Amino acid sequence: MPQVATTANARDLWGTVGARIGIIRRNYRVVPGLYAVGSPGPESSVLVTANYKLSFDALRLPLTGVDAWLLVLDTRGINVWCAAGKGTLSTEEVIQSVNRFRLSEVVSHRQLVLPQLAATGVTAQEVKRGCGFQVLFGPVRATDLPTYLHQGKQCDEAMREVTFTLPERAVLIPVELFLLAKPLLTILALVFLFSGIGPSLFSLTAALDRGLLLLAATMLGIAGGAVLTPLLLPWLPCRQFWLKGLWPGLALAACTYPLFAPRIAVTEQLALALWAVTVSSYLAMNFTGSTPFTSPSGVEYEMRRGIPVQLAATCLAVALWVSRPFF
Amino acid sequence: MHGYRYIEGTATLEVDRQRCVGCGNCAVVCPHRIFALSTEGLEVRAPELCMECGACARNCPVQAISVAPGVGCAVALLSAWINRLLGRKVLSDCC
């Protein structure tokens, strides 16, 4: 039986950094199976988790002084809540893992503690019917597990509620930025293309001079939508994210106006501001997928309103920007 | 968490109070604590807090709760729309 530590070593820390930045996020896994923390016996609790390494670490690291079995399911390297939503952390997967790893030969009781968020994919009654094990939904956060176990597997109300605190939001920003690297290459090409078009067909000097300005406006939009929006989320007015994203975009455009304005025409100023605000709005809308409280019906509702506006604003900004050298 | 209310009137959550047997599973699993179980029966306290994760409906033994479950992610929805437009299968998503 593999024994796992309840402390993180240098490799774990670098792995966490790599996953949080996004570089190794898709392939940061643990081998599914049964693991031991402390020195568990037949009476010890069985704690179930996903085989994403960050989920596994989140579970094992708070367990200093606890004797328990860890049952790691095969969720294809996806975290508990996403895997439950996608169907890889399912009733069937729990039943199969219990059987595959012969849990009934290891423990004398018939009880599993699953993270509460696994309930999106797991039906407790069907697990019981399928393999004889009763499912208890434990706390949302593994850090509450020692208290939960100490209280005789009872949750306080606060342990059952999802939070989205400033640190919880801030830690998501690196991945938001990392995911932009690829689309940014396409945007970079278009930025220089649109900036160089002029009466002489294409001017390389203009492409570089004006292109840098347009690139700077793009960066402002990214800062607004992918950095400031997550940080300021609860204080941004409006419920719809594409509207929330307007404020940081507008604020950044206003703050940098004195830097841009003297060098360019009014139509160009307008184009840059419009573009920065649109990028911010779009990225704020994309942040819905990273939050723990947006519903698919709500996201669809706001996308049907936000995307047409964003598209129109983009077309207007491009038209203003490209047409300028012709006047 | 009560600061995070999403758009009102969009969530598809519906509760059939006639069917409810009062087991309390939904109240246990809801990550936004929107159910209250009392002698009066099951009560939905704040529907705009529902994120349609589907945990309650999945763990209801008598199908008293209905909700169209899914992930509230603009990127996933947008790629689904684009794929449908182009007649492709969904290749990948972000999480």
Residue B74: which of A140, A288, A297 has the nearest Cβ? A288
Q: Which of B2, B5, B7, B67 is the best mutation test for A, with the most CBs of A within 10 A?
A: B7
Number of Cβ within 10 Å of residue A196's Cβ equals 21
Those residues whose C-beta lies under 8 Å from the C-beta of residue A320, and which sit 6 or more positions away, are: A267, A268, A270, A271, A274
Q: How high is the ipTM of this complex?
A: 0.92
CB-facing half-sphere around the CA of A113: CA atoms within 13 A: 22
Q: Looking at per-residue confidence, does A235 or B90 come out higher?
A: A235
Using a CB-CB distance cutoff of 8 angstroms, which residues of chain B are in contact with residue A79? 95
Q: Verify whether the Cβ–Cβ distance A137 to B29 is below 8 Å.
A: yes
Residue A163: which of B1, B10, B75 has the nearest Cβ? B1
Q: Rounded CA gap, B73 and B21, in Å?
A: 33
Using a CB-CB distance cutoff of 8 angstroms, which residues of chain A are in contact with residue B12? 295, 297
- Supply the pLDDT for residue A263: 83
Q: Verify whether the Cβ–Cβ distance A117 to B7 is below 8 Å.
A: no
Q: Verify whether the Cβ–Cβ distance A295 to B78 is below 8 Å.
A: no
Local confidence band at B4 (pLDDT 50, 70, 90 cut-offs): confident
| A123-to-A131, A185, B39 alpha-carbon distances in Å | 13, 44, 26
Q: Verify whether the Cβ–Cβ distance A119 to B61 is below 8 Å.
A: no
Token pair recorded at residue A193:
């293309």
Whether the Cβ atoms of residue A78 and residue A28 lie closer than 8 Å to each other: no
Residue A124: which of B59, B73, B74 has the nearest Cβ? B59
Whether the Cβ atoms of residue A212 and residue A151 lie closer than 8 Å to each other: no
Residue B88: what residue type? R
Question: A284 CA to chain B: closest CA distance, Å?
Answer: 10
- Mean pLDDT score of chain B: 89
Using a CB-CB distance cutoff of 8 angstroms, which residues of chain A are in contact with residue B52? 295-297
Q: Rounded CA gap, A153 and A135, in Å?
A: 12
Beta bridge partners of B65: B15
Number of Cβ within 10 Å of residue A325's Cβ equals 17
Local confidence band at B93 (pLDDT 50, 70, 90 cut-offs): low
CA torsion through residues A173, A175, A178, A182, sign: negative
Question: B27 CA to chain A: closest CA distance, Å?
Answer: 10
| A305-315 residue pLDDT tens | 999 999 999 99
pLDDT at B2 over 70: no
Scan residues 7-26 of A and list those with Cβ closer than 8 Å to B: none
Q: Which mean pLDDT values do the consecutive 10-residue runs of chain A (327 residues) have?
A: 94 96 94 97 98 97 97 97 95 98 98 98 98 98 98 96 97 96 95 94 93 96 98 97 98 92 91 97 97 96 98 98 92
| A263-284 residue pLDDT tens | 899 999 999 999 999 999 999 9
Q: Which of A135, A295, A300, A301 is the best mutation test for B, with the most CBs of B within 10 A?
A: A295
With 0-12 CB in 10 A as exposed, 13-18 as middle and 19+ as buried, what is B8? exposed
Residue B58: which of A81, A120, A239 has the nearest Cβ? A120
Q: Rounded CA gap, B48 and A295, in Å?
A: 9
Instruction: Give the DSSP letter of residue A160.
Output: G
Local confidence band at B1 (pLDDT 50, 70, 90 cut-offs): very low
Question: B59 CA to chain A: closest CA distance, Å?
Answer: 5
Scan residues 78-107 of A and list those with Cβ closer than 8 Å to B: 78-79, 81-82, 84-86
Rounded to two decimals, what is the model's pTM?
0.93
Q: Which of B44, B58, B62, B63 is the best mutation test for A, with the most CBs of A within 10 A?
A: B58
